[in-house]
Structures are given as C-alpha cells and as structure tokens.
Structure 1
Amino acid sequence: MTDGTPEAATGVLRPHAEQEYADELARLAELDERPRPPGWRLSPWAVTTYLLGGELPDGTAVTPKYIGPRRLIEVAVATLATDRALLLLGVPGTAKTWVSEHLAAAVSGDSTLLVQGTAGTPEEAIRYGWDYARLLAEGPTEKALVPGPLMRAMRRGAVARVEELTRIPSDVQDALITILSEKTLPVPELDTEVQARRGFTVIATANDRDRGVNELSSALRRRFNTVVLPVPASLEDEVEIVSRRVARLGRALELPAPAAGLEEIRRVVTVLRELRAGRTEDGRTRLKSPSGTLSTAEAISVVTGGLALAAHFGDGVLRPADLAAGLHGTVVSDPAADPVVWQEYLETVARDRPGWRDFYRACREILP
C-alpha cells in the first residue's frame, strides 16, 4: 500500500480512491465542521458530498463519483454510522464496487481492506491464516498468525469490504455472523479474541443475478442493511456516467481525448439501453433483448476499446467503425440466439434512424 498521496500514485494504472481523490478528501476534512461518528475521517454529510459531488463553502468543487438517487447514498452512509453492516445489491454494472470503494475511502481513508469473493474463497480469507513455517517451528503464536482484511479492519476501526458475497460458499459466509453480530473475532488457537474498535464496519456487494448460487442465510442477511443500486434512470444520466468513467480511464491509459466522442458515447448507450429495456427510447418499437446484461459497465468497455482503436489505428477521432466490433461482441454473448436479436435491431432501428447510417454500415460489415 502506498502513502495515499497523488505523488505516490504516479504511474499506477488504477490508483485507489483515497489516492486519486486525496486533495478532495483533505479539503473536505479541513472544512467539515459537522459531527463525525467515532473513527470516521469525515462527517456523514461530507461523505455524501464526496460521493455525489457539490460545492464546498470556500467554492471548491467536488466531482461526483456516483450519479443516482441522493437518498440511496444517504441511507448507505447512515447505515455505516450504525452498528449494522451495509449490503449493496444490484444487477451487474450498477457501480456497487465503485460505491463501496469510495465509501471506504471517505469513511476510513483506506479502501484496500478487501475480500474478493469467489467460489474458492476459503474461511481464512474472512477470519485469519497462519504462517505455516512459524506454526510448525513454534506452534500457534501471535507471530505465526496472519490477519486477514477483516481482522485488520477490526483492530484499526476501519471499513472492510467483501466483494461478490453471494459467490462465496455458504459455510464460509457464515464466518461473518459472529463478526457482524458480536463485533468479535475469536482466535481459539491462542485462547483469545479480537474485539473491533469503534469505526469498524463492513460493506458487502452482491449481484442479484446470482440468486441461487450461494444465497445468504436469513441469519447473515439480518446483519446487513440492504441498499439496491438501480440502473441509471435516464439516458442523460447514463451518458454522463460513461463519459466520466471513460475520460478517467483514458487519462490512466494516456489515450488522447477523442473529437466528437460524446455523440458516439450517446449512440452506444442508446443501443444498450434499448436492447436492455426491450423497446426503443420513444417506446414505439418493441425489441427482443439479448442474453447478456448490457449494463453501464459494458458501455464503458465498448467506448474505451473504441478510443484505443481510434488512437492507435485511426486519426484520433472516435467513429462508428471503432465501436462496431466491441458492440457486436458485447451484444452477442450467446452465439446461438443473440445474432438474430442484434441483426433485427440493426434492420428495424439503426438502418432508418436519422444520423445513424455510418453506424449501421459499420455494424453490418462485421456481421458473419
């Protein structure tokens, strides 16, 4: 882990939130005169302002990190100020991980205390592990103990993050119950326990498309307050989200800012929104939806890939031809059923839509 300053993150492809936005966090802390919960670096008001953006009393502009309903973020922040953990639930691409990282950065100044949930996540990732060389030589001792992210967060009074909670096997999930209910992590091998310091909490994320994979037990779900993050409500909101994230990724990858890029971003977002909803934006034409999720995350990926093509193999201007292949690959995830859906969209919507002729041709050229 680096020291959290912008200089420390120089050359890093993907700085942590507390590194990239260190200046904003520092300024918020300096001007924040509201009450702060124990162990918090900012007040709940300042945390919400950091997430949603705004203007500080001295005129400093805070960039929005999340574009969506304010009340959802207020509920999430208020939950962290209680003794309950927070579960961010939503379909893929609704910024659950993004929100969880920025909440942790704003509350405790460290977003790196992370457990990445997978089908192979062991219980040691939730609790603790052992340095087996020391364990064999000395037996169970404090020095042989290897604390996991949650134990470190408990000792420091910080925020721990658990990504993709429902991907973790059910018996491993249950290791969280004592931590969340008693705020204690027993270490029976040492006949001791770790008690959480004030400020400790857990933010977990889960994909509601994963229901039936490893569903949470009722005992564990009761320990969480659930906030459902929705897909962007409007085309304009989603275009703004994609534009901001693409610009951030472009700077990290040192891609040149594209000319007329906003028009193409709007087109990509429109296509994915219409296919996702099963109808055109004006509601006049019903459409078949492909098998994939077609989330905001996919739109960001398509546009970023198009930027790379425009920068390295074109004239730097983002054009439909730079986006067609990426969009085709995103929409056609099921090679049996999705090609029909995509071709029908091109013929019934894109072909005759004003200003979309070049886009239609570029997409048709790569059809098999």
Structure 2
Amino acid sequence: MSETVLRQHAEHAFAGELEALRKADADSGRPKPPRWKLSPWAVATYLLGGTLPDGTAITAKYIGPRRIVEIAIATLATDRALLLVGVPGTAKTWVSEHLAAAVSGDSTLLVQGTAGTPEEAMRYGWNYAQLLAHGPSREALVPSPMMRAMATGAIARVEELTRIPADVQDTLITILSEKTLPIPELGEETQAEKGFSVIATANDRDKGVNDLSSALRRRFNTVVLPLPATAEEEIEIVSQRVKSLGRALELPEVPAAHEEIRRVVTVFRELRGGLTEDGKTKLKTPSGTLSPAEAISVVAGGIALAAHFGDGTLRPADVAAGILGAVVKDTSTDKLVWQEYLETVARGRDGWTDFYRSCREVSA
C-alpha cells in the first residue's frame, strides 16, 4: 500500500512485525487454529509487544491487562464471537483492527454500525442492473463484508453494534449460531469456512440505544476494555499514540512533550474520577468521558500549534484550548465544572502557574 495514504491499515503499517512473528511461529512450531496467520501466542505478542528470539522488537499496540487480551484471542479460537465493550476512547476499535490484522491478515472486512445500517450490510445486496437484465444470480449478488469473511474463513468486524437497529442486529443470530448465511433468492447458502469469526464493539454509554437481544448476546463472549488503571499507564498510552500519529501526519518533532502529556493526563484522570490525585479534594465531573483518546487529540493538536505557530516546544498555552474543548461539551454545566477545577486545583498547584493562566485566558 502507498505510504502517502493518511492512515494505513494495521496489516500494512505493521507488515514487518507481522512477518517477523510468522517466522518466529515457524521456527517454534507453535500450533495455529485453522486459517490463522499467527499462533495465539504470536497474536498476543503482536498486541502487547515484546522481543522475539531473533531480537526483533514488537511494539505494544494495547497497553493494559494481559489477561484481557488472552481471553479475547482465546474466544476467537472457539466458535464464539467476541464483543469488546467499554466507555468511548478505550481502544475498542483499535484492538478490533489489530486482532483482525494478526489473525486474518485483513482488517478491512468491516460493517460500520449506525442507526441507518441496512440489513444488506450484514447479509448481501444486489447489482440492480444485473438483476433486471438477468434475474437473481451469483453474478448479480453483492456480498457484504460479513459474507466475504464467511467465504474466506476470516474475521469480520462490526463497529458500534448497539447503534444498529434491532432487526438488523438479529441477522447475526443465524450467522453466529448456524455458521451459515441463507440466500433464499437463489436457493443457496454461504457456509462459513474454518477461521471465520466476528469481533463487534459497543460502548457503555450506548446501552439504551438498541440493546442486544438475549439470543444475540449469548452468541458473544463479552470482554470489557477498562480505562487505564494508573496514571503512568495512561501517560505511556498517550505518548506512544501521539508519537505514532505525529509520524503519520509528518508533524515536526517537538521536544519536551512529556511534561505536558503528564499534565493533560492528570487533569483528565482527576476530572474523570471526581477526586484529585492526592485524594484530598473532591471534584465535580463533566459530561464527557475524558478518555485517553481525547488526551491524544489534545496533545497532538498542541504539538501542531507548537511546531507551526510556536517556538517548537510544547507549552501549556498549546494544550489549553484543546483541554477546554475536551472538557466543556455542555456549556451549561461543564463550564462551571472546569472553572471550579481551575480555581480550586490548578491555581495553587506547584509548577502549574503558566497552565492556569493559559486556561483562564482561553476560557474567558
């Protein structure tokens, strides 16, 4: 794939690591489930990072509990589908993409869930020119990503499953239980090849949009992706993703970003948890989730400001506006939450004077 694209698919961006893991698998003789490109051990190493026997360094794609990743991978090795659940910004889509890339070598068999997702996105559609000219036929049929995954023994991905209307969700029941997709217009069916599975994502805040039926939920093994347990873990996640994003966007290198990353993460964790890190001051929480994804966006925006309009060093003024936009989603309530945080926490904290002033300036 061309290196000029804005964002490469995981299987292309990390092709070198995947190939090194395939060689390590071949040398070790580790067993692989049918159609899998890598062994479960290699898939876990690809997600969590490590060093191979030949010295190849594998970067961590997910920073979090190892057991969660192992359970997710083990699920895909059975006949159960995998449902990744968590608040927005907990890397559900990121983990889904990298799991599909490592297992199938193809992360593009994707159904994007929305309120308007049609049944054809899960099953199949028709080329109406062919249909009118020749009637129902295999040539006139347009397979969905799900159908293509079944036919090739690959992983299909469904994003935001709970945003999809209930009647469309239920088309998955037969696919997941019977491993077959009937095509009544042709009197045929597509049966799933070995290796086929589904990874779906849903966020905790969408529980009431289109709840999954008990019949469909039973077909999934649900794995909850938590927010980072510690500040250091979250700082590492944000630093790593900002660095990767900076390379992809070809942003100039900005030195001394670690201090501002730590500050952004501290603000987000304190507001998210409703308590300062020393446990002494209770705080009101804003309406947004303030996840690592928002922190990454704030820091990346700050780096762009520092590189193009500043002196090349990331400073409090470069992240202040981004933090304000991330925290204040509902101006009627979140603005008061943010002002209270600035006056009761940021104002008197050692080393935060410039940050406090910059935030006050953009909040005025």
Give the shorter-chain TM-score range. over 0.9
The residue aligned with 1:234 is 230
2:280 pairs, out of 276, 281, 284, with 284
SS at structure 2 position matched to 1:15: coil
Equivalent residues of 1:158, 1:200 under 8 A apart: yes
Equivalent residues of 1:247, 1:257 under 8 A apart: no
Equivalent residues of 1:9, 1:20 under 8 A apart: no
Equivalent residues of 1:93, 1:295 under 8 A apart: yes
- State how far apart, in whole Å, the 1-side matches of 2:208 and 2:308 are: 43
Residues 259-270 of structure 1 correspond to what in structure 2 (within 5 A)?
259-270=255-266
Opposite residue 14 of structure 2, the aligned amino acid is Y
The residue aligned with 2:134 is 138
- State how far apart, in whole Å, the 1-side matches of 2:339 and 2:98 are: 39
SS at structure 1 position matched to 2:36: coil
- State how far apart, in whole Å, the 2-side matches of 1:229 and 1:253 are: 27
1:339 pairs, out of 335, 338, 346, with 335
Question: Deviations for 1:330-363, whole angstroms, at most 9, x for unmatched residues?
Answer: 1000010111100110011111111110000000
TM-score, normalisation: structure 1 = 0.97
Opposite residue 185 of structure 1, the aligned amino acid is L
Equivalent residues of 1:9, 1:19 under 8 A apart: no
Within the alignment, does 1:352 sit opposite 2:345 as a pair?
Answer: no
The residue aligned with 1:207 is 203
Residues 271-310 of structure 1 correspond to what in structure 2 (within 5 A)?
271-310=267-306
- State how far apart, in whole Å, the 2-side matches of 1:148 and 1:80 are: 21
Unaligned stretches of 5+ residues in structure 1: 1-7
1:249 pairs, out of 242, 245, 249, with 245
Equivalent residues of 1:107, 1:159 under 8 A apart: yes
1:13 pairs, out of 6, 16, 21, with 6
1:94 pairs, out of 90, 93, 104, with 90
SS at structure 1 position matched to 2:255: coil
In the comparison of the two structures, how many residue pairs are matched? 361
Equivalent residues of 1:259, 1:316 under 8 A apart: yes
The residue aligned with 2:71 is 75
- State how far apart, in whole Å, the 2-side matches of 1:319 and 1:123 are: 49
Within the alignment, does 1:163 sit opposite 2:156 as a pair?
Answer: no
1:9 Cα deviation (Å)? 3.5
TM-score, normalisation: structure 2 = 0.98
The residue aligned with 1:5 is none
The residue aligned with 2:22 is 29
Opposite residue 20 of structure 1, the aligned amino acid is A
Equivalent residues of 1:101, 1:111 under 8 A apart: yes
- State how far apart, in whole Å, the 2-side matches of 1:315 and 1:166 are: 45
Identical-residue share of aligned pairs (%)? 75
1:60 Cα deviation (Å)? 1.2
- State how far apart, in whole Å, the 2-side matches of 1:266 and 1:337 are: 26
Question: Deviations for 1:53-79, whole angstroms, at most 9, x for unmatched residues?
Answer: 011111211100000000000000000
1:247 Cα deviation (Å)? 0.6
Within the alignment, does 1:63 sit opposite 2:59 as a pair?
Answer: yes
2:172 pairs, out of 149, 159, 176, with 176
- State how far apart, in whole Å, the 2-side matches of 1:152 and 1:174 are: 19
Runs of 4+ in 1 over 6 A off after TM superposition: none
Opposite residue 192 of structure 1, the aligned amino acid is E
1:125 pairs, out of 99, 121, 125, with 121
1:136 Cα deviation (Å)? 1.1
